[in-house]
Chain A
Amino acid sequence: MKRLPSTNEFYVAATIVLLSIIIGSINPAFFTLGNLIDLLRSSIVMGIFGLGVLMVIISGGIDVSFTAIASISMFATTKILRYYDFQGTVLVAFLIAAGIGLALGLINAVFISLFRLPTLIVTLGTASMINGFMLAFIGAREISNIPQGMIEFSKINLFEVTSSTGFVYGLPAAILILAALVVFVWFLLKYTMLGRGIYALGGDRVAAERVGFDINAIQFFIYGFVGLISGVGGLVHTCLMRNSDPVDLMGTELVVIAAVVLGGARITGGHGTVLGTLLGLFLVTIITNSLILLGIPSYWQSAVVGMLILVGTGVTAYQSKRAQASHGLA
């Protein structure tokens, strides 16, 4: 019997290849190293968010507040450091952003775990609350002179290439943060009892309790961790943009959730892999970045992403329906 998630990963990978060939044949610039670096660069922040979304979806929940958490973490951090005119290392910035993210994530956890409220409602509430709070009390105007440490961090490249037109493409060191998180989340989900507990919770909450998983602890971990990496993701975003805009991440949560679902995570919980998530995110990044290379107006981006999601999830749903029909019906 074929396992659906693996076939799903295969389909996403195949779509990426196919799409690359199409785009590349129309505009050969797609296959340059510079463009690849560009794609990777655009994937970093989405990737960090995606890992958090993946964990939430596997556990059977949904989180729409991570962009709000990311925004306030990065924006407040930038404000604080500017206020004290901090000149030191970027690590301090990361610590502050991660701390704010963690604290806000734990607020989600309290409502979701202790009060047993639906995750969508809780995170819709906290997202709105956080955004409002940020715009009212911290400020609504973007900060373009971000602290020196953050600028320096954004300039560290793993390597650089110069294109024929003299443009320098650099792969930022921030991708190492994504790489580390990928390895961490992959190991956590596959090889720790905590990770298996997340799958168990998403598969059948009652059964998970009966086996002896501490559901509250698992949910506190998930939402705390998601808050923390959202803070980190937000700060990476600010550094790479060299600009702290409190509203530019708003709305991207749906794209990230969609990409994770496209990568095989089932919105009903219990299913999803790190590899699938990365593929799904990369596919969406290619589409949003490359339609311009094809000369297609950028309005079409969201239409194409939406279509892909419907087709992608439709194919898997159709397959599982057929698999059930083949032995389920009497």
Chain B
Amino acid sequence: MSRPFLEVRNVSKSFAGVRALENVSLTINQGEIRCLVGENGSGKSTLIKIIAGVYAPDHGDIIIGGKLFKRLHPIDSIREGIQIIYQDFSLFPNLTVAENLALNHEMSQRRRFVDWRGVNQIAREALARIGVEIPLNARVEELPVADKQLVAISRALLQHARLIIMDEPTTALTRREVDALFRVIKGLQQKGISILFVSHKLNEVYEIAEKITILRNGKNVADGDTSEFDRAKLIYHMTGRQVEQSRYEREAGGDQARPLLKVENLSRRGEYSDVSFELYPGEILGLVGLLGAGRTELAMSLLGLRPPDSGRIYIDGKPIKIRSFEQAVKQGIGYVPEDRLTQGLFLQQSIGRNIVVGTIDRYLNRFGLIDSRKVNGQISKWVRDLSIVTPSPLLPVQSLSGGNQQRVVLAKWLASNPRILVLNGPTVGVDVGSKAEIHRIIRELARQGVGVLLISDDIPEVLNNCSRILLMRKGRIVEEFTAGMVSENELVNKLSGAA
């Protein structure tokens, strides 16, 4: 049995009278990989910030390497070997990989002049230590997210890290990159470095963690070996309720014979080629593929953002041309983008305004002015229907949690009564409870006859919700599966296998 490296004992913390953490304890042994799971608002980030020394706990002890800290300052935490990799990585986008890696070292040496040869050497050794190759002279802003993360990890190691805390490190990574990251994490473990892994994604929790600590509403609810938890139990502890994991079956009814959307031999040079498929009313059609397989590009074409070079698109059997986003919306196509923060929402604007922004021209009175009664009616309808949790729809969208923000994006599109809904990663960065809720909403829409095209990296999500699944590889649709005909493992293997 190895010794504990970090012990957090009965820590409580309140902000302005609101309890963020109550008697929370957490122990991490040397060389242990532990997952900290919990929904948004469960107190994970507060706990991390207490470990980092950013917040001082109101009560409780923090013991690092056997030393008791009544008041832990950020510098103490770093000195004791605790390194946190935030989601933004805290790297300098404009500097080279080498300089990003060596900067801390140079600062701690209190150097006045830069020794460029030393910088490159430090960087080369740091990357070699985790066994990755990234060009030292590349600017960090030019790197893909996965490489940025590896740079951040290398930098943490350079500071003699003994515990690395990773805050949702896999959010923007493809399956393959996640595998590479996990190999690096396992390698660190063998060197006796402890890892605290904060994640929403249950698959990954099972894959990487030895121990799990679950927080809910600022309290410890469960703690133990990963093997003690099955999926249902884990979700139960996180959400405090049973979440359905049933499969969606397309129901009979409506005009089933005729496809809502039909795509024939669609091609766009350098992005995808010869793509054909049909989407029926009431169907949830899954589209999976690795990053760069052409999924998003295809979706963009359906929305008129990247017009195809050749091929035909039919809606209700009628050939149409979609040259702009406006035309797509007129044809009844709605799109929930991948990055809701930059593409889907006006973060500073109110929840209500975000909901009606796409359809504002439908709520006019006879003078052509906005009828605020109609608008408010719509807003409260959607807040209610999608159970958006907020004290008031007048609050800015950025005050909401990720799951609720995503519901606002959905509400915005549903307000325009789309007949075809293209969802790109609808539950990325959303916690388990909200995720189930969003799935319920999507299924409900499909039952009402909407055709849904679901693009996702989340294989269980696709398997549970889609009646058919298309697999894209290198810009082509290479295989089609019917729900229930393929297991999760098979699909994952097919995804990464031949890429």
In angstroms, Cα B100 to Cα A208, docked, is 11
Q: Which residue of A lies closest to B425 (CB)?
A: A330
Given contacts A1-B142, A203-B92, A204-B92, contact A329 B296 (CB under 8 A): yes
Contacts of B114 in A (CB 8 A): 190-193, 195-196
Which listed residue, B94, B116, B142, touches A323 by the CB 8 Å rule?
A: B142
Which listed residue, A207, A213, A270, A330, touches B296 by the CB 8 Å rule?
A: A330
**Contacts A193-B106, A213-B107, A271-B94 given; 9 further ones with Cβ under 8 A?**
A1-B135, A3-B139, A190-B114, A191-B114, A200-B103, A203-B93, A211-B103, A269-B94, A330-B425
What is the distance, in angstroms, from A58's C-beta to the closest C-beta of chain B? Answer: 9
Whether a CB of chain B sits under 8 angstroms from the CB of A199 is yes
Given contacts A3-B139, A196-B103, contact A327 B94 (CB under 8 A): no
What is the distance, in angstroms, from A111's C-beta to the closest C-beta of chain B? Answer: 25
Asked if B296 and A204 sit within 8 Å, CB to CB, the answer is no
Q: Which of B103, B104, B108, B338 is the most central at the interface, judged by chain A CB atoms within 10 Å of its CB?
A: B103
Q: Which of B92, B95, B116, B142 is the most central at the interface, judged by chain A CB atoms within 10 Å of its CB?
A: B92
Q: Please list 11 pairs of residues, one from A and one from B, whose beta carbons are closer than 8 Å in the complex, sorted by A's number.
A: A1-B142, A3-B139, A196-B103, A196-B114, A199-B92, A203-B92, A204-B90, A206-B90, A212-B108, A330-B292, A330-B338
Q: Which residue of B lies closest to A270 (CB)?
A: B94
Asked if A212 and B94 sit within 8 Å, CB to CB, the answer is no
Asked if B92 and A193 sit within 8 Å, CB to CB, the answer is no
Contact-size category for B: 20 to 34
Whether a CB of chain B sits under 8 angstroms from the CB of A202 is yes
Mask for A160-194, Cβ within 8 A of B = 1, else 0? 00000000000000000000000000000011111
Asked if B135 and A329 sit within 8 Å, CB to CB, the answer is no
Mask for A3-16, Cβ within 8 A of B = 1, else 0? 10000000000000
Asked if A270 and B142 sit within 8 Å, CB to CB, the answer is no
User: Closest 3 interchain pairs by CB?
Assistant: A270-B94, A203-B92, A203-B94
Asked if B90 and A193 sit within 8 Å, CB to CB, the answer is no
B interface, CB within 8 angstroms of A = 90-95, 99, 103-104, 106-108, 111-114, 116, 135, 137-139, 142, 144, 291-292, 295-297, 338, 424-425
In angstroms, Cα B280 to Cα A122, docked, is 60
In angstroms, Cα B105 to Cα A247, docked, is 49
Contacts of A207 in B (CB 8 A): 90-92
Asked if A192 and B94 sit within 8 Å, CB to CB, the answer is no
Asked if A329 and B297 sit within 8 Å, CB to CB, the answer is yes
Asked if A211 and B94 sit within 8 Å, CB to CB, the answer is no
In angstroms, Cα B424 to Cα A211, docked, is 37
In angstroms, Cα B296 to Cα A327, docked, is 13
Asked if B95 and A203 sit within 8 Å, CB to CB, the answer is yes
Which listed residue, A191, A195, A204, A211, touches B93 by the CB 8 Å rule?
A: A204
Asked if A200 and B95 sit within 8 Å, CB to CB, the answer is yes
Q: Which residue of A lies closest to B91 (CB)?
A: A207
Contacts of A200 in B (CB 8 A): 92, 95, 103
Q: Which residue of B lies closest to A271 (CB)?
A: B94
Contacts of A330 in B (CB 8 A): 291-292, 295-296, 338, 424-425
What is the distance, in angstroms, from B340's C-beta to the closest C-beta of chain A? Answer: 14
Contacts of A202 in B (CB 8 A): 94
What is the distance, in angstroms, from B327's C-beta to the closest C-beta of chain A? Answer: 22
In angstroms, Cα B156 to Cα A210, docked, is 13
The majority secondary structure among interface residues of chain A is helix
Contacts of B137 in A (CB 8 A): 3
Contacts of A193 in B (CB 8 A): 106-107, 111-114
Contacts of A212 in B (CB 8 A): 104, 107-108
What is the distance, in angstroms, from A279's C-beta to the closest C-beta of chain B? Answer: 20
What is the distance, in angstroms, from A313's C-beta to the closest C-beta of chain B? Answer: 17
Contacts of B106 in A (CB 8 A): 193, 196
Contacts of A204 in B (CB 8 A): 90-93
| Contacts of A252-278 to chain B: CB distance below 8 A | 269-271
What is the distance, in angstroms, from B291's C-beta to the closest C-beta of chain A? Answer: 5
Given contacts A203-B94, A206-B90, A271-B94, contact A191 B113 (CB under 8 A): yes
Contacts of B93 in A (CB 8 A): 203-204, 270
Q: Which residue of A lies closest to B299 (CB)?
A: A330
In angstroms, Cα B290 to Cα A329, docked, is 12
What is the distance, in angstroms, from A147's C-beta to the closest C-beta of chain B? Answer: 39
| Contacts of A292-330 to chain B: CB distance below 8 A | 323, 327-330
Contacts of B425 in A (CB 8 A): 330
Contacts of B135 in A (CB 8 A): 1
Q: Which of A195, A270, A271, A330 is the most central at the interface, judged by chain B CB atoms within 10 Å of its CB?
A: A330
Asked if A192 and B112 sit within 8 Å, CB to CB, the answer is yes
Asked if A1 and B104 sit within 8 Å, CB to CB, the answer is no
In angstroms, Cα B107 to Cα A193, docked, is 8
Q: Which residue of B lies closest to A201 (CB)?
A: B92
Q: Which residue of B lies closest to A194 (CB)?
A: B112
What is the distance, in angstroms, from A219's C-beta to the closest C-beta of chain B? Answer: 17
Asked if B104 and A192 sit within 8 Å, CB to CB, the answer is no
What is the distance, in angstroms, from B64's C-beta to the closest C-beta of chain A? Answer: 20
Asked if A327 and B144 sit within 8 Å, CB to CB, the answer is yes
Contacts of A211 in B (CB 8 A): 103-104, 107
What is the distance, in angstroms, from B26's C-beta to the closest C-beta of chain A? Answer: 24
In angstroms, Cα B128 to Cα A140, docked, is 65
Contacts of A271 in B (CB 8 A): 94
Q: Which residue of A lies closest to B111 (CB)?
A: A193
What is the distance, in angstroms, from A139's C-beta to the closest C-beta of chain B? Answer: 44
Q: Which of A208, A269, A329 is the most central at the interface, judged by chain B CB atoms within 10 Å of its CB?
A: A329
What is the distance, in angstroms, from A270's C-beta to the closest C-beta of chain B? Answer: 3
Contacts of B424 in A (CB 8 A): 330
In angstroms, Cα B103 to Cα A208, docked, is 10
Mask for A43-58, Cβ within 8 A of B = 1, else 0? 0000000000000000
Asked if A1 and B138 sit within 8 Å, CB to CB, the answer is yes
What is the distance, in angstroms, from B176's C-beta to the closest C-beta of chain A? Answer: 13
Which listed residue, B90, B95, B142, B296, touches A199 by the CB 8 Å rule?
A: B95
Q: Which residue of B lies closest to A212 (CB)?
A: B107
Contacts of A191 in B (CB 8 A): 113-114, 116
In angstroms, Cα B99 to Cα A327, docked, is 23
What is the distance, in angstroms, from A218's C-beta to the closest C-beta of chain B? Answer: 13
Contacts of B116 in A (CB 8 A): 191
What is the distance, in angstroms, from B343's C-beta to the closest C-beta of chain A? Answer: 11
In angstroms, Cα B89 to Cα A207, docked, is 9
Q: Which residue of A lies closest to B94 (CB)?
A: A270
Contacts of B104 in A (CB 8 A): 211-212
